């Protein structure tokens, strides 16, 4: 356990506060019109290059999502092709502009593993529309817990959004990891809201 007070973060590392949230029964859908041009499409056995591109566009460049970028192609494919993992893309025509990944590998539970939209799709209700689908799809399965985590690298709107959507905060952790901008997993321009300390 960390004692109270300030703690130095080693050069080249990122420190973030992670909040874990859960939902123990389906939350009521939040009213929102269906976006005119968007549809939600299941992606069977996603290609790792396709997935990484969408992952970067949704969360990597703006919010320093990096966990999936550190995996080998085989490790990533093993997750994405697992029969208890569901990957869906938000599509505008032929262009993927959002990601929804549901992980049912833990018995009786579903993790909202990844959820997000590209920058140009934020702020017009598409997030609420996508969350309504996420909640419906999760609770169509025999689960008793739907859970997600977010962190202080993410959009400041993420945690309040999850709470408004019906998730309840349960605990917090501090995570320290290599800065992906220094390992080459993301460009130095990614996550401009987080200082780059080599």
**Does a structural domain hold residue 37?**
yes
Determine the pLDDT at residue 148.
98
Determine the pLDDT at residue 185.
95
> Where do the DSSP E strands lie in the chain?
13-23, 38-42, 85-92, 95-103, 109-117, 145-151, 168-178
Residue 44 belongs to domain spanning: 14-183
- Bridge-partner residues for 45, per DSSP? none
**Does a structural domain hold residue 61?**
yes
Determine the pLDDT at residue 1.
76
**Does a structural domain hold residue 149?**
yes
Total structural domains within the chain: 1
**Does a structural domain hold residue 99?**
yes
Mean pLDDT by 10 residues, the chain (198 residues): 89 96 97 90 96 97 94 97 98 96 98 96 91 98 98 95 98 96 96 92
**Does a structural domain hold residue 150?**
yes
**Does a structural domain hold residue 197?**
no
Residue 80: give its domain's CATH number: 3.40.630.30
**Does a structural domain hold residue 194?**
no
Determine the pLDDT at residue 2.
77
**Does a structural domain hold residue 58?**
yes
């Amino acid at each position: 356990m960390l004692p109270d007070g300030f703690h130095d973060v080693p050069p080249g590392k990122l420190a973030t506060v992670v909040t874990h949230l859960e939902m123990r029964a389906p939350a009521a859908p939040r009213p929102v019109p269906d976006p005119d041009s968007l549809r939600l499409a299941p992606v069977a056995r996603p290609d790792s290059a396709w997935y990484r591109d969408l992952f970067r566009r949704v969360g990597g460049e703006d919010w320093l999502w990096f966990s999936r970028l550190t995996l080998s192609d085989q490790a990533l494919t093993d997750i994405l092709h697992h029969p208890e993992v569901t990957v869906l893309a938000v599509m505008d025509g032929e262009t993927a502009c959002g990601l929804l990944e549901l992980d049912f590998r833990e018995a009786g539970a579903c993790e909202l593993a990844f959820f997000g939209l590209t920058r140009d799709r934020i702020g017009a209700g598409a997030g609420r529309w996508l969350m309504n689908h996420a909640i419906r799809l999760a609770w169509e399965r025999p689960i008793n817990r739907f859970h997600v985590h977010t962190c202080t690298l993410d959009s400041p709107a993420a945690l309040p959004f999850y709470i408004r959507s019906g998730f309840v905060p349960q605990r917090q952790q501090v995570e320290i990891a290599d800065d992906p901008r220094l390992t080459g997993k993301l460009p130095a321009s990614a996550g401009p809201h987080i200082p780059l300390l080599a």
